[in-house]
Chain A
């Protein structure tokens, strides 16, 4: 299986007045056709910036300072804005966390969707509208013909997110980046959206990067998982391997602190401290100040170990299974 997307040693830094924020620092991963990669991390871990880097939405003072983003062999980091626009929304699409922010509140749904169709395909308005209607129907919006005439505020949160997904899927993209698309939604609505997305990915063979902080969602959805901490991927591998036999102490702690992994009513196993500021990261392992296994050697760059094929972790003192 050749990878749809291969990210190698990506570095995205923000040059702020207070200093350089290394939001993404040496991140590598790949996603194949029809595969779902779960990009897991807490706020400030760089997971969203990674997604934005791939789709070329990093604004100043941020800049991709190193590495390559190979989409079907073509380096996206080297494309100019015109070439990137040709791919974005067409071959590579994104779903954002808050659908109220991504839809234009003063334009009807049909206006927005027809524009999105005609941005990439030469077609008549009527044809574009038909295509928009089919896309709405595909994501499970009842009576799509009438709903095309509605404004975003006339939809509920779950329906709005479906519209956003329909727009992302208009051109059957090869790669879909989803940035916490179900975090703001209720459990039953989240399950509906996940069901739709799962179906679409398997039918169209879309490669997906699912960015989230929610390990439970990722467990049900992802084929592979990459865990990020302070701008780096600290552990990556098959979903089962990472969730059942985590080797990095951070992954281990994160999974251990999920309530269902603890005996009811007992204290949760918690990770002490909080995520460090990316402005002044000390050299070596960024997790060492919160880590129970840290030693003197952790002030050095941790080596990459491979406990099983395809399962890697960056740590001096990996947890053995």
Chain B
């Protein structure tokens, strides 16, 4: 693998209730009378290790509530982790002096799912795309317009539209505005959070092609978050499968689609509707995704797993290498070896 651009070490994110003074007081009084406070902490991301090499496209797959967006937001620097460290090119973002940290953070940009909610409706396209590079002094004096035009053109937008507002564009064009905005500060790493999920099929193909062109032209690295396995399979070099805050399997794209190891990955792949599968019988894994407030003990997947053993309910399996570059967190792998 190339030199790592982003490295996560034991990163966790927990969301708990925030207590104001009154809530703290009642909690302390209740504690004095022997009532333990109810713990309502969501373990959105639980001890994740991840290395993304330069130029790599890593697909992050999981169902809603599995923590994939939270992980993406921490990588993009929008949210600090509760535990663990995030290294950008080998340097810890939290311990860098502020100017260096700012430069590092600019190199990681994010593209959001909803092209309607992620653009300020009161700003013109020129301001949406141009504000960040102007504030950060990235544009030489007097060259704002040429710089802006170039950014828009690169995302496949006509610079003649730069005086327009977001509502005057279609969904696909808005997503291109979001892409132009992210690229305007010359990032090296893009976090795409369900960036094509809200688009129509024919527009989705256009935007995916744009991502692939940009990767080639600008030598970009992607963390591509999606629930759509077809899109991830097409775009990624490596795929991570997440379930309730933990990464359960990680492997090269071909390996994971040809030889899925974790029972959850197997179930997920079996249930993806494919255009090649006609009049199939839909079968389903039982049950729903449990609440991340009270995740099941041991392996989080064991209540839904067809191969669950007594051990799965008590002991969380570690993410272990089962083949070169292929890691899986399942006790079944111990039994066979």
Contacts and interface: CB of A to CB of B under 8 A. Distances in A.
B273 A217 contact: yes
A269 B204 CA distance: 11
Interface stretch (B82-90, B114-122, B230-238): B230-238
Contact of B273 (A156, A158, A216, A259): A216
Given A187-B63, A220-B273, A42 B201 contact: yes
A257 to B, nearest CB: 4
Given A213-B200, A216-B273, A264 B233 contact: yes
A291 interface: no
B275 A219 contact: yes
A216 B230 contact: yes
B202 A270 contact: yes
A248 B254 CA distance: 33
Nearest to B63: A186
Given A220-B280, A239-B279, A265 B234 contact: yes
A264 B234 CA distance: 5
Given A257-B205, A264-B233, A43 B278 contact: no
B271 A187 contact: yes
Contacts of A220: 273-274, 277-280, 282
Given A214-B273, A240-B278, A270-B209, A187 B229 contact: yes
Contacts of A271: 202, 205-206
Interface stretch (A2-10, A106-114, A192-200): A192-200
A213 B201 contact: yes
Given A195-B282, A220-B280, A259-B234, A187 B227 contact: yes
B253 interface: yes
Best-buried of A188, A190, A274 by chain B (most CB within 10 Å): A188
Contacts of B172: 274
Contacts of B208: 259, 268
Given A191-B282, A198-B282, A267 B212 contact: yes
B285 A188 contact: yes
Contacts of A275: 200, 202
A6 B292 CA distance: 48
A294 interface: no
Given A186-B63, A187-B271, A262 B234 contact: yes
Contacts of B289: 186, 188
Interface string A122-144: 00000000000000000000000
A192 B233 contact: no
A166 interface: no
A257 B279 CA distance: 21
Given A187-B227, A215-B275, A156 B288 contact: yes
A159 interface: yes
B277 to A, nearest CB: 5
B78 interface: no
A260 interface: yes
Interface in A202-222: 213-217, 219-221
A221 B279 CA distance: 5
Contacts of A213: 200-201
A271 B200 CA distance: 11
B334 interface: no
A98 to B, nearest CB: 14
Nearest to A253: B202
A223 interface: yes
B288 A258 contact: no
Interface string B63-103: 11000000000000000000000000000000000000000
Interface residues of A, number: 47
Contact of A159 (B273, B277, B288): B288
B126 to A, nearest CB: 22
Contacts of A82: none
B272 interface: yes
A255 interface: yes
A234 to B, nearest CB: 13
A254 interface: yes
Interface in A248-298: 253-255, 257-262, 264-265, 267-272, 274-275
A237 to B, nearest CB: 13
Best-buried of A215, A259, A270, A272 by chain B (most CB within 10 Å): A259
Given A268-B234, A275-B200, A186 B209 contact: no
Contacts of A257: 201-202, 204-205
Interface in B254-298: 254, 267-268, 271-285, 288-289
B26 interface: no
Given A191-B271, A195-B282, A214-B273, A270 B200 contact: no
B332 interface: no
A158 B288 contact: yes
Interface in B201-259: 201-206, 208-209, 212-213, 227, 229-231, 233-235, 253-254
A161 to B, nearest CB: 12
A195 B281 CA distance: 7
A7 B254 CA distance: 46
A189 interface: yes
B63 A188 contact: yes
18 contacts: A42-B202, A157-B64, A186-B63, A186-B227, A187-B227, A187-B271, A188-B284, A188-B289, A190-B273, A191-B271, A195-B283, A220-B279, A220-B282, A221-B282, A240-B278, A257-B205, A270-B206, A272-B206
Top 5 nearest A-B pairs (CB, nearest first) are A257-B205, A259-B234, A192-B284, A191-B271, A216-B273
Given A186-B63, A220-B280, 14 more contacts: A187-B272, A191-B283, A191-B285, A192-B282, A194-B282, A195-B284, A198-B282, A219-B274, A219-B275, A240-B278, A243-B275, A257-B201, A272-B206, A274-B173
